[in-house]
Structure 1
Amino acid sequence: MTLPDGFLWGVSTSAFQIEGALREDGRVPSVWDAFPVPGGDTGAVACDHYHRHPEDVALLRELGVGAYRFSVAWPRMADLGFYDRLVDSLLAAGIAPVATLYHWDTPLAVEETGGWLNRDTAHRFAEYAAVVGDLLADRVAMWIPINEPAMVTLQGYAVGEHAPGKTLLYDALPVAHHLNFAHGLAVRALRAAGARAVGTANNHTPAWPAGPDDVEAAAAYSALHNWLFADPLLTGNYPAELADRLPLLDGDPAITAEPLDFYGVNYYNPTRLRAPGEGNPLPFELVDIDEYPRTDFGWPVVPAGLGEVIAELRDRYPNLPPVYVTESGCSYAEVDDQDRISYLDGHIAAAEGAGARGFFTWSLMDNFEWDAGYSQRFGLVHVDYGTQKRTPRSSFAWYRDRIRR
Structure 2
Amino acid sequence: MERRDLLKTGAWLGGALLLPQAGVVAAPRRRFPAGFLWGAATAAYQVEGAVGQDGRGPSIWDRFSHTPGKVKNGDTGDVACDSYNRTAEDIALMQRLGLKSYRFSIAWPRIQPTGSGAPNQKGLDHYSRFTDALLKAGIRPLPTLYHWDLPQALEDAGGWPSRDMVGRFADYAAIMGRSLGDRIRNWAMFNEPMAFLSLGYWDGVHAPGRKDPASFLRAVHVVNLAHSAAVRAMRSGNAGLKFGGAFNVSPIIPGSDSAADQAAAQRFDKFTNLIFAGTTMTGQYPRGLFPADRQEALLGWQAGDEKLLREPLDFAGINYYSPMTATEDKTETDIPGLETKARWSFVPDNDRYQRTDMDWIVYPRGIRMILNRMNQVFGGTPIEITENGAAFNDGPDASGRIRDARRVAYYRDHLAAVADAIADGVPVRGYHAWSLLDNFEWAEGYSQRFGLVHVDFKDGQKRRIKDSGLWYAKYVRAAYPG
Tell me the TM-score range normalised by the shorter chain: over 0.9
Match of 2:313 among 260, 276, 280: 260
Match of 2:51 among 19, 22, 29: 22
Q: Indicate if the aligned counterparts of 1:96 and 1:141 stay in contact, CA closer than 8 A.
A: no
Q: Which residue of 2 aligns with 1:293?
A: 354
3-state SS in 2 of match to 1:357: strand
3-state SS in 2 of match to 1:242: coil
Specify the code of the residue in structure 2 equivalent to 1:274.
T
3-state SS in 2 of match to 1:199: strand
Q: Indicate if the aligned counterparts of 1:205 and 1:305 stay in contact, CA closer than 8 A.
A: yes
The CA deviation at 1:259 is 2.8
The CA deviation at 1:139 is 1.1
> In 1, Cα distance between the equivalents of 2:71 and 2:274?
30
Q: Indicate if the aligned counterparts of 1:234 and 1:320 stay in contact, CA closer than 8 A.
A: no
Q: Over residues 105-135 of structure 1, what are the superposed CA-to-partner deviations in whole Å (9 max), with x where a residue is unaligned?
A: 0000000111000011111011000111111
The CA deviation at 1:103 is 0.2
Q: Which residue of 2 aligns with 1:61?
A: 95
Q: Which residue of 1 aligns with 2:261?
A: 214
> In 2, Cα distance between the equivalents of 1:141 and 1:295?
35
Label 1:381 to 1:217 Cα distance change in 2 as closer, same or farther (>3 A): same
Computing the radius of gyration from Cα coordinates, the structure with the larger value is 2
Q: For residues 270-349 of structure 1, what are the structure 2 equivalents within 5 Å?
A: 270-276=323-329, 281=334, 283-287=341-345, 288-289=347-348, 290=350, 291-317=352-378, 319-334=379-394, 335-349=402-416
3-state SS in 2 of match to 1:145: strand
> In 2, Cα distance between the equivalents of 1:104 and 1:201?
12
Q: Indicate if the aligned counterparts of 1:14 and 1:70 stay in contact, CA closer than 8 A.
A: yes
3-state SS in 1 of match to 2:276: helix
How many residues align? The count is: 401
Q: For residues 110-259 of structure 1, what are the structure 2 equivalents within 5 Å?
A: 110-194=154-238, 195-211=240-256, 212=258, 213-243=260-290, 244=295, 245-259=298-312
The CA deviation at 1:255 is 3.1
3-state SS in 2 of match to 1:202: strand
TM-score by length of 1: 0.95
Label 1:151 to 1:331 Cα distance change in 2 as closer, same or farther (>3 A): same
Q: Which residue of 2 aligns with 1:32?
A: 61
> In 2, Cα distance between the equivalents of 1:354 and 1:125?
34
3-state SS in 2 of match to 1:241: coil
Matched, 1:379 2:451: yes
The CA deviation at 1:254 is 2.9
> In 2, Cα distance between the equivalents of 1:339 and 1:353?
21
3-state SS in 1 of match to 2:303: coil
5+ residue gaps, structure 1:
none
> In 2, Cα distance between the equivalents of 1:159 and 1:175?
14
Specify the code of the residue in structure 2 equivalent to 1:332.
F
Q: Which residue of 1 aligns with 2:470?
A: 397
The CA deviation at 1:350 is 1.8
The CA deviation at 1:193 is 3.0
Q: Indicate if the aligned counterparts of 1:313 and 1:320 stay in contact, CA closer than 8 A.
A: no
Identify the range of structure 1 (181-190 vs 9-18) with the bigger mean alpha-carbon deviation: 181-190
RMSD: 1.7
Specify the code of the residue in structure 1 equivalent to 2:183.
R
Specify the code of the residue in structure 2 equivalent to 1:12.
A
3-state SS in 2 of match to 1:296: coil
The CA deviation at 1:158 is 1.1
Q: Over residues 365-394 of structure 1, what are the superposed CA-to-partner deviations in whole Å (9 max), with x where a residue is unaligned?
A: 000000111110000000000221000000
Specify the code of the residue in structure 1 equivalent to 2:130.
L
Match of 1:351 among 408, 418, 433: 418
Q: Which residue of 2 aligns with 1:44?
A: 78
Q: Indicate if the aligned counterparts of 2:278 and 2:286 stay in contact, CA closer than 8 A.
A: yes
The CA deviation at 1:251 is 3.2
> In 1, Cα distance between the equivalents of 2:288 and 2:37?
37
The CA deviation at 1:170 is 4.7
Q: Indicate if the aligned counterparts of 1:18 and 1:368 stay in contact, CA closer than 8 A.
A: yes
Instruction: Give runs of ≥4 in structure 1 deviating > 6 Å.
Output: none
3-state SS in 2 of match to 1:325: strand
> In 1, Cα distance between the equivalents of 2:38 and 2:276?
25
Q: Which residue of 2 aligns with 1:84?
A: 128
Q: Indicate if the aligned counterparts of 1:18 and 1:46 stay in contact, CA closer than 8 A.
A: yes
Q: Indicate if the aligned counterparts of 1:203 and 1:266 stay in contact, CA closer than 8 A.
A: yes
> In 2, Cα distance between the equivalents of 1:224 and 1:400?
37
> In 2, Cα distance between the equivalents of 1:394 and 1:372?
24
> In 1, Cα distance between the equivalents of 2:414 and 2:370?
12
Label 1:274 to 1:86 Cα distance change in 2 as closer, same or farther (>3 A): same
Specify the code of the residue in structure 2 equivalent to 1:168.
D
3-state SS in 2 of match to 1:404: helix
Percent of aligned pairs sharing the same letter: 44
TM-score by length of 2: 0.80
Specify the code of the residue in structure 1 equivalent to 2:85.
H
Q: Indicate if the aligned counterparts of 1:218 and 1:284 stay in contact, CA closer than 8 A.
A: yes
